[in-house]
Amino acid sequence: MSLDSLSSYSPYSSASAGLAADIHSLDALKRNTGQATPESIRETARQFESLFMRELIKSMREATASMKSDMFDSPTGNMATDMLDQQFSVQMSGQPGGLSDLIAAQLSKQAGLQPESFEKTPPSQTDTPLLRRNSSIAAYRANQTQPPTQPTTRQTDFVQLHTETAARIEKDTGIPASYMVGQAALETGWGQRQIKARDGSLSHNLFGIKAGPGWKGKVAEVTTTEYVNGVATRKVAKFRAYGSYEESFRDYARLITKSPRYAKVNLQDGSAHSFATSLQRAGYATDPQYATKLRRTIEATQRLQRGTQVAAQSV
């Protein structure tokens, strides 16, 4: 796209003030191509994104015309709908990371300006009441509990395989079985990513416990992802290897209940959130999102365990 290919522009058009784009007020672009500034190019890009959005909305309206109510199928109703769509197209354009940023970056190169000038849209162009309201709604929805998806066969099999062992460990240590099975599911991807030795044999290490200097047992050496200052890096690390999954559960329980490092891990209030948060705070994993992932996996495990119990009782 070149500056000459744009047939319209006005840096002081009504769209700048938040009103719907007026195509007839955009006929000055060719006269201003030799005086391109970051502000003018940014506004041009926003105008074209607005026009694009308007055509997109128009196409959506036409695609659903057969479902339109007779109440609004009138010249007055059509005009009101068109005006609303124009306003929507203006409000939706010019946001950071949108089409206007790409257009502005391309035009700036052709005009000899630095593309970096267009990486961020000024707050005044995006901080409208409508967008703030939409952002608040989006943030609210993101924080709501998402409806649980149907469990896969792998997830169901994993929970059934390890729940009995975890229940025995719970009686001995007080660590809820669902917490242990949930964390094992997170660490292994529901059994898909289990740690193996070089010869391909299973390490039975369900919790990603590394083999430090004090470990005298078998070791499995694998490449793993670690987070250093929030940046994911690949490293070769040594992990403990066990003779069975029960050994893995018992070693994990011993670590959580006996190590001073995990003395403040919350096991008693029945909250997966508290457990996951306190475990990450104690430094169990380097992934900054570990607590959130663990909470979700534990909750999924609890749903599966409840479903299994109900199914068993109905037999």
Which long-range CB contacts under 8 A does 209-213 form with residues at least 24 apart?
A: 209/239, 209/240, 209/248, 209/251, 209/252, 209/255, 210/237, 210/238, 210/239, 210/240, 211/238, 211/239, 211/240, 211/241
In 10 A of CB 2, how many CB atoms?
Answer: 10
Residues 174 and 291 grouped into a single domain: yes
Residue 149: its pLDDT value, please?
63
Q: Are residues 51 and 18 in the same domain?
A: yes
Structure tokens at 54: 């308007």
SS3 233: strand
Residues 308, 240, single domain; the answer is yes
Phi, psi of 220 (to 5 degrees): -120, 125
Domain-embedded: residue 283: yes
> Which amino acid belongs to residue 73?
D
Mean pLDDT check: name the lowest of 78-92, 109-123, 167-181, 273-287.
109-123
Q: Would residue 94 count as lying in a domain?
A: yes
Clarify whether residues 87 and 194 are in a common domain: no
- 171 lies in the same domain as 305: yes
Assess whether 133 and 195 both reside in one domain: no
Between 280 and 86, residue with greater pLDDT:
280
CB neighbourhood size of 252 (10 A) = 24
Length of the chain: 315
The alpha carbon dihedral of 21, 27, 30, 34 has a sign of: negative
Average pLDDT over residues 289-299: 96
Residues 239, 302: one domain? yes
Mean pLDDT throughout 181-189? Answer: 97
pTM of the model: 0.53
Instruction: Mark whether 132 and 229 lie in a shared domain.
Output: no
- Domain membership of residue 54 (yes or no) is yes
Q: How far apart are CA 194 and CA 238, in angstroms?
A: 14
pLDDT of residue 269: 82
The amino acid that residue 77 corresponds to is: G
Contact 121, 101 (CB under 8 A): yes
Secondary-structure breakdown of the chain: helix, strand, coil percentages, each rounded to the nearest 5: 60, 10, 35
Domain assignment present for residue 80? The answer is yes
Residue at a domain's end among 119, 143, 167: 143
Which of helix, strand or coil describes residue 235?
strand
Active site residues: 226, 251
**Residues 265-271, mean pLDDT to the nearest whole number:** 88
Return the pLDDT at 8.
41
| Structure confidence at residue 53 as a pLDDT band (50, 70, 90) | confident
Residue 25: the pLDDT is 47
Q: Tell whether 21 and 137 lie within a shared domain.
A: yes
> Side chain identity at 151, as an amino acid letter?
P
Predicted local confidence at residue 232, as pLDDT: 82
Note whether residue 174 is domain-resident: yes
Residue 148 belongs to some domain of the structure: no
Task: Please tell me whether residues 134 and 239 are part of one structural domain.
Answer: no
- Domain holding 64, by residue range, is 3-143
- Say if residue 217 is in the same domain as residue 253: yes
Of 143, 174, 201, the last residue of a domain is 143
Answer whether residue 204 is part of any domain.
yes
CA–CA separation, 11 and 95 (whole Å): 17
Residues 157-165, mean pLDDT to the nearest whole number? 96
Domain count, the chain: 2
Question: What average pLDDT score do residues 237-256 get?
Answer: 97
**Per-residue pLDDT for 146 more than 60?**
no
Compute the average pLDDT of residues 234-245: 94
124 shares a domain with 247: no
Continuous segment of H or E residues that includes residue 170:
helix 153-173
CATH of the domain at 212: 1.10.530.10
Question: What letter would DSSP give residue 90?
Answer: H
Residue 227, beta-bridge partner list: 232
Q: How far is C-alpha 86 from the chain's CA centre? A: 31
Of residues 133, 128, 58, 137, the one with CA closest to residue 93: 128
Task: Give the separation between CA 241 and CA 218, rounded to whole angstroms.
Answer: 5
| Residue 73: per-residue pLDDT | 61
Q: Which of the listed residues 91, 111, 143 is the one where a domain comes to its end?
A: 143
Instruction: Express each pLDDT in 114-140 by its tens digit.
Output: 544 444 444 444 444 443 344 444 444
